[in-house]
Chains A and B, each alone.
Chain A
Amino acid sequence: MFDVASAAVEAALAAGARYADARAMHQRNESMSARNGDVEDLSQRESVGVGVRALVGSSWGFVAVPDPTDAEARRAGERAVAVARASAQVPGPDVSLVPIEVRRDSWASPCEEDPLSVPLTEKGDLVAGVTATMRAAGASLAEASYQVWDTAKWFVSSEGARIDQRVRECGAAMSATAIGAGETQRRSYPGIRGQYGTRGWELVRELDLPGHAARIAEEAQALLVAPECPAGETTLILGSEQMALQIHESVGHATELDRILGWEAAYAGTSWLDLAELGQLRFGSDLMTITADATLPGALGSFGYDDEGTPAAPQDIVRDGIWTGVLSGRDSASVAGLSYGGMVRADGWARLPMVRMTNVGLLPGESSLAEMIAATDDGILMDTNRSWSIDDRRLNFQFGCEVGWEIRNGQRGRMLRNPTYTGISPRFWGSMDMIGNRSEWTFWGTPNCGKGQPSQVGHTGHPSVPARFQGVRVGVRG
């Protein structure tokens, strides 16, 4: 496949590009879902193609074609140059790329048990079995699923890079829904988006879905008759799954450099952050340190090289509460006057690489969830994301969780249904006064981050721990 990618790059250069790169990819995907004791969907997909990106003057062009011959790849390279020339009808400022060390290398994600080699019968028994367990435990609707991705890619650039990578990812999710007279409640495990990583099937085994199936079915039913989350301001403790969502939406997206530069203004939106304040702005309390680290073994946002051939490396995003870094690529970093890229990926060969979260996560602190509860006289514990909404500058958010628990005098009390909380990002993060310790540090994976046009689905990682916040408005409803 290197030959196909090289042909595309060479043709783009011959047609007038001053820089070109190409990714040839072979993607295999398998998904299975079960409902109420039976497998309801089993799909397998295979896709092969090449995407070539050409820079002509100050304008980019991108063309992608499926399963090409060398000749078709060359034509794609030539067409990418033609597309770039069309872009020049509405030209922008000069484009430069921050320099990187040109590598020729191979990389593969860790994988103990190839997920596509695990027998379908075993995987089917797992997802169907846990739905049967949830039904038996009283769920009105029981669902479970897994997904596997096995991606091989070959990257070639006109600077001489030649990198092949193999990334295997998988994970699973299950949920129990209780349907009452006028109310529907759901509990999921480990979250409605599941848990995913750049690992083999051992990740799914470690989740132990069967061990949690009956519990979540019972909790869903209990939620139907639980009191409503009260409205008001209170002390809020978030579990680590909800914290992953909080980080993703209010820190990850806000620090994407393409948003900050206005490149996503019409769709995904911009950011409340101003580059002039990088290195000085207080984003949160002193306890808040967030990194983007694609080198974390097994996390969903890990890789050897991003889709511009930049080697994975950790980057501080927020250090001790101060905004210190961004998520960037080679061209956006250059525009911003920064020296680092390395966070650009595409959803397959047919999509243009763009700035993407890697593993954007919170470094652990000193407390435990039990200590946070014990130290809280009056508050609410919420966990497991149910809804998420945030404005186009990533400032004003309202998130809902599947379950809440009242906290009184240091004790976890009764269950609360329909818990929601809302806030303004820096004010909210500024109120964080306790965070979990390393033993509670979980590398959550989000396999469904939408961004870009045409739409791209990204796989992102979010190391997180439970945390406590003060003076949070909760219980917002229609």
Chain B
Amino acid sequence: MTEHAREQLAARVLDLARSVAGPSAQAEVTVSSTVRGLTRFARSFVHQNVVDTSERIRLRVVVDGSWAAVSTDRADADSLLAAVESAVAAARVRRPDAAFPGLAPPAPLAGAGNWDDATADATPDQRAAVVREFVAAAGGLETAGYVESMRTESVYANTAGQTVSGRATGAAADGIARVPGADGVGRQGSVRLGELGGAGLGRIAAAKARAGASPVDLPPGDYEVVLEPACVADILRFLLVHGFNGRPVGEGRSFVRLGEQQFDAALRIWDGPLDELSTALPYDAEGTPRQRLDLVVDGVSAAIAHDRRTAAAAGAASTGHAVEGGERWGAVPDQPRVGAGDGGSSADLAATMRRGLLVSDFWYTRILDPRTVVITGLTRNGVWLIEDGEVAAPVSTLRFTQSYPKALAPGAILAVGSDASAVPVRTASELVQTPSLHLAGWHITGNAAG
């Protein structure tokens, strides 16, 4: 479906909504097309290889202050009419939503989205070629992972006069190499599939796996740590969902206090939906243009992410962070960035530790206390004990139980790496850019033995 066809379809759905619900009804519609190709490999061969196409129409109608949403992938006249009638009927059974903030007014976009024709049209052969490079570079070690390319094209329109369109591409490669008892990881995200270096990632993964062989158990306790970018990306996810999200802030469930020095002065966090790394559309689920949002400036909590509902409740403006279903979950930035420092690579940071841990990856992190963002989780894909700046031993899986804000509190960040890299968070559609962090303390509560 072309952009013009999507715009025409969106206009047709809005007309249908008005004809069914009456001229005073409000409505918003999103028409999106997504093609995702994902080539997975395990035991050093491609074992799952998929291409899926979706064409989706999402409509929200507001009738006398009540609203409901429907979605369908059927664009024929009968199906569209049925979808609209269903939405209107559903809206009419609800009580008016007193907190409904209205639809987004007309506002221009600040960007069109990052797009690469070659990635948009990437073939299974091209993805398999990246896999082949990764596997070959691992030097005979068993490998597993994925290479993904995706394209999204979308139009948003509402009866308040806002009509915007955008498109984005993304690509990611993420794989491990394995030796008995240890895995090493290499991963990279980009707007462009052509920028993914399968061979380089395979070499990194293999080197890490070999360096992790014959791990030792460490006792629980507090350890100084160097966390590589994937770990920091995990920390960001929890801070953004439970802290800088307008929903928990408005309900008194967030730790964030704007204007306070809640973090170390070395920490800068922002959402960068329009930067050159972004794989996001240039507007959110409510049609509000996206923009950069500085969340933590020199350790000071500086802003909260809002959709129209949380913004209205807070007396603020939407920051363009509405997500589908946001009535329940709130507003969440999905292109977070952490400012780089001058600490060099994770290895450089580790070289400054007298005794501590170098950690590649976190796994299965879950929240124990949303207010203090206490998280339990495990290490994965490599942990090393560092003594006097040197690797003393690879370490087996460790369990931690740690308050994430506390780990980043004033004085807790000893150094920030200059190795900012783009980490795909399970998919190319969410890329996090962050350097490694050297932290004063991390609470280890268990090891592979229990």
Q: Given A64-B50, A90-B131, A418–B42 Cβ distance below 8 Å?
A: no
| Known pairs A89-B131, A266-B176, A396-B448 / 10 extra A-B pairs, C-beta < 8 Å | A38-B97, A40-B328, A43-B69, A46-B70, A61-B124, A90-B128, A90-B132, A124-B94, A389-B378, A424-B449
- Distance of A82 Cα from B366 Cα, bound (Å): 40
Interface contact B450-A422, CB-CB below 8 Å? yes
Interface contact A89-B125, CB-CB below 8 Å? yes
- Cβ of B148: which chain A residues have Cβ within 8 Å of it? 453
Most B-side CB within 10 Å, residue of A42, A62, A89, A90: A90
Identify the B interface with A (CB < 8 A). Answer: 36, 38-55, 67-74, 79, 83, 86-87, 89-91, 93-95, 97-98, 123-125, 127-129, 131-132, 135, 142, 144-146, 148, 174-176, 178, 183, 251-253, 325, 327-328, 363-372, 374-378, 380, 397, 399-403, 406, 426-427, 443, 445-450
Interface contact B90-A89, CB-CB below 8 Å? no
Verify if A66 is at the interface (C-beta below 8 Å from B): yes
- Distance of A87 Cα from B325 Cα, bound (Å): 36
Most A-side CB within 10 Å, residue of B46, B70, B124, B174: B46
Interface contact B145-A266, CB-CB below 8 Å? yes
- Cβ of A82: which chain B residues have Cβ within 8 Å of it? 124
Interface contact A44-B51, CB-CB below 8 Å? no
In this complex, the interface size class of chain A, counting residues with CB under 8 Å from chain B, is 35 or more
Residue among B38, B253, B401, B450 making CB contact with A423, cutoff 8 Å = B450
- Distance of A46 Cα from B84 Cα, bound (Å): 12
Identify the A interface with B (CB < 8 A). Answer: 33, 35, 38-49, 51, 59-67, 79, 82-84, 86-93, 119-121, 124, 128, 140-141, 177, 179, 182-184, 261-267, 269, 350-352, 354, 386-393, 395-396, 398, 400, 418, 420, 422-424, 427, 453-455, 473, 476-478
Q: Given A42-B94, A43-B68, A44-B68, A398–B50 Cβ distance below 8 Å?
A: no
- Cβ of A352: which chain B residues have Cβ within 8 Å of it? 48, 50
- Cβ of B79: which chain A residues have Cβ within 8 Å of it? 46
14 intermolecular pairs with C-beta atoms under 8 Å apart: A38-B95, A39-B95, A44-B87, A46-B71, A59-B46, A63-B52, A86-B127, A120-B89, A391-B378, A392-B364, A396-B450, A422-B446, A478-B376, A478-B401
- By beta carbon, the residue of chain A nearest B255 is A182
Most A-side CB within 10 Å, residue of B128, B253, B400: B128
Interface contact B68-A390, CB-CB below 8 Å? no
- Cβ of A267: which chain B residues have Cβ within 8 Å of it? 146, 426
Shortest Cβ distance from residue A376 to the other chain B in the assembled complex, whole angstroms: 22
Q: How many A-B residue pairs have CB under 8 A?
A: 272
Interface contact A183-B445, CB-CB below 8 Å? no
Residue among B44, B97, B251, B448 making CB contact with A90, cutoff 8 Å = B44
Interface contact B73-A48, CB-CB below 8 Å? yes
- Distance of A123 Cα from B73 Cα, bound (Å): 26
Interface contact A265-B73, CB-CB below 8 Å? no
Q: Given A41-B327, A47-B73, A453-B40, A120–B401 Cβ distance below 8 Å?
A: no
- Cβ of A391: which chain B residues have Cβ within 8 Å of it? 363-364, 378, 380, 397, 399, 448
- Cβ of B125: which chain A residues have Cβ within 8 Å of it? 86, 89
- By beta carbon, the residue of chain B nearest A269 is B363
- Distance of A59 Cα from B325 Cα, bound (Å): 38
- Cβ of B364: which chain A residues have Cβ within 8 Å of it? 389-392
